[in-house]
A and B are shown apart, each in its own frame.
Chain A
Amino acid sequence: MTSLIHPSDTSTQPRARSYRDHQRPLWQRILFSRDLAVWVALVVVYLYASATVPFFDRPITITYLLLDVAPILLIALPMTLVIITGEIDLSVASTVALASVSFGVLYDKGTPIVLAAVAALLVGIVCGAFNGFLVTVVGLPSLAVTIGTLALYRGIAVGLLGTTAITDFPDGWTDWARGRIGESDIPSIMIPFAVLAIVFIVLLHFTAFGRGVYAIGLNEGAARFSGIRVERTKLVLFMLTGVVSALAGIYYTLRYGSARGDNANGMELQVIAAVLLGGVSIFGGRGALPGVIAGVLLIGAIGSALRLADQTADVINIVTGLLLVVSVVGSSVLGWVSSKRRSRGAPDAPSGTTQSTPPQPHNNTTLTDPDGPVGEREREDR
């Protein structure tokens, strides 16, 4: 941990401390937040697609949309916390596949299905703990670690089953995974998702642990010195990501009725794209769960609207990629514009608030963080 105080930082007059995000009334803060923007985009896309795309406003569309995005919704919850601490986990889809294969193989060998499911969840916890161990105890960058475990877990999953698939699961379970809540159009999987979403929202936004998650992302050194158990927090988050990925793996297996080594191929990229679209900063320290949930639904809604409009998967790929690039570049450009405006108007504004504004030239305390996030913590001055 070395903090570089720039020579230019020794300013002559002490600045008054002010928190820009608390200078405005609450309604303004809510109205101009990134989360709300994603929700608005979601509503706009939904209304537009309902008006222009045939069959999009049918209830069955919503059912299938939710069934399709359920695994991504589930994994996005813990992934959000991991990215807010400035780490990343690219091995989630491989964990999904490994849990799916473990679940299938154990059930095939005659284990009661409940035990097989519990064992699959344990596999997920072990996968997450291994990631967390390498990142926190050994002190390796999570990007490199999880690229390694992406190949490792996927390799074990493919190795266990080869090219075969296990397909005979009890009808009761598969029907539940494809079924709906009573007579409504909402899939049953939304019940566990809602429970988990509430748990994670409370954990991130209403507990000391959650504040610690933000603190670690904003400034790991400061968090450590204020008594936050950085290593333990990160380890817990990686384990949570593992277990939720395993849960998504069990759901995936039951919904498609097959356990295969190549299940959920490429899903890690979809999850990360959705989380970043939902307003979580890859630098860590910024983001909120409601926005992330809207981000996942937005990608899902655009995808299903395009499918119904007879567009193929490739257009959906292009739109997903463009959305991701535009959303991050857009927030970067907005930050630049507002910092220009502020530096012309008010003489100063402390950086490090909720906006991803790059620090202004006259107050930048750059932290070069040896165990920082994805190998890209560079906030530089212009």
Chain B
Amino acid sequence: MSTATPTVTTPAPPPPPSTGARVRKLLQARETGIVLAFLVVLAVTTAINPSFLFSKDGWRDLFLTPSILVVLAVGQAIVIITRNVDLSVGSILGLVAYATGRLFVDTGLPILVVLLLGILFGVALGLINGALVAFAKVPALVITLGTLYVYRGVMMSWAGSDRINASDIPSGLLSFGTSSILWIPSLAWISFVVLAIGAYLMGRTRGGREMYAIGSDPDAATLYGLQKTKRTLLAFAASGGLAGLAGVMYVARYGTISSGAGLGIEFEAVGAAVIGGVAIFGGSGTVLGAAVGAYLLMTINRGLPILGIQDFWQRAVVGLLIIVAIVLDKVLKDRQHKKLLAERDAA
């Protein structure tokens, strides 16, 4: 590549925005709409059945049910932002959950060590995806579809017909899975920490912003000299590691691990990210949006029976939500595009 180095003049930093502008920006943010939708769902179901929110179980489930999906959705958002997709997260979750279970059964390692090993195992599986995508230059969709099968197959052949039961898991981990800190379940705290770290890295650090740049225009990013291979690897490692963490959380929450653990959850993770405003073409959206998307999905799932809808219809509602979200995004994008054109013509 022969590229003439363009002379870049750094513009003067813009004045800090006024409070009014900040409020307007917050109101226009894509995440605000999702949060509002979530609050509406919560309000309606609670109005019909107050115990949905104001009972001990209701309050706990509100945070506990989405916690695993939030972790997966954050990882998925990072991958989608770099214009890839990771369909193997459900299989990674299952494989890591089974591996942690086996470690508890076969070795006497302390809980924390096993948890770290589980996450590292997830990172390794994610790196395999990333290496295949980054070095072989094959679309992530195909690679992760292949590894979805491979990882699931490895888990099934390893597990055979035996399940890991709650009696095999140390009681410390199981009680952590059901414990609460400051009225909020511990697993939810883990997902909050993951979300905070993810939001900071993607929103405020150079590496994170480079991922957005790569996702929004890979060619421009390459010309600009960003290290695409490294960032792709990192994104997949993050997604794999978070799927590994989700697998460990799965063990802590359910205790029993059968070969169906995490089956089909990859579509829910992609769905949560898409509903949360992460465009499938990469380069836009936030991990916060994806997390709120996960909350919205799970809360609707729990709220349907209260609204008198059989829970068989859950998946249909999820699908409808995804479609509404992407149509809405498209409409907003077109409007903004028109507005920018008008501004340009006016200038």
List residues of chain A with CB under 8 Å of any chain B CB.
4, 6-8, 88, 134, 138-141, 143-145, 147-156, 158-159, 162-163, 261, 266, 269, 272-273, 276, 282-283, 312-325, 328-329, 332-333, 336, 358, 361, 366, 368, 370, 374-376, 378, 380-381
Contact = CB atoms under 8 A, between A and B. Distances in A.
B281 A156 contact: no
B278 to A, nearest CB: 10
A293 B258 CA distance: 35
Contacts of A8: 1-3
Contacts of B137: 332, 336, 358, 380
Nearest to B214: A378
A151 B310 contact: no
Best-surrounded residue of B84, B132, B153, B271 (most CB of chain A within 10 A): B153
B145 interface: yes
Interface stretch (B106-114, B189-197, B205-213, B314-322): B314-322
B1 A322 contact: no
Contacts of B318: 151-152, 155
A283 B137 CA distance: 11
17 contacts: A8-B2, A134-B327, A148-B319, A152-B315, A152-B320, A152-B322, A155-B314, A162-B310, A282-B139, A313-B156, A314-B155, A317-B149, A317-B152, A322-B146, A325-B146, A358-B137, A378-B83
A7 B2 contact: yes
A283 B142 CA distance: 11
B271 A148 contact: yes
A318 B326 contact: no
Nearest to A144: B280
Interface of B: 1-4, 83-85, 132, 136-143, 145-157, 160, 217-219, 222, 228, 259, 264, 267, 270-271, 274, 280-282, 310, 312-323, 326-327, 330
Grouping DSSP codes into helix (H, G, I), strand (E, B) and loop, the A interface class, with mixed when no group exceeds half, is helix
A66 B323 CA distance: 36
A134 B331 CA distance: 12
Given A144-B274, A148-B322, A376-B139, A7 B153 contact: no
Grouping DSSP codes into helix (H, G, I), strand (E, B) and loop, the B interface class, with mixed when no group exceeds half, is helix
B316 A156 contact: yes
A119 B84 CA distance: 38
A173 B104 CA distance: 52
A333 B3 contact: no
Contacts of A381: 1, 222
B312 A273 contact: no
**Minimum-distance CB pairs A-B, first 3:** A155-B316, A152-B319, A321-B149
Nearest to B282: A375
Nearest to B129: A325
Given A147-B271, A158-B315, A159-B316, A140 B330 contact: yes
A325 B132 contact: yes
Nearest to B155: A314
A315 to B, nearest CB: 6
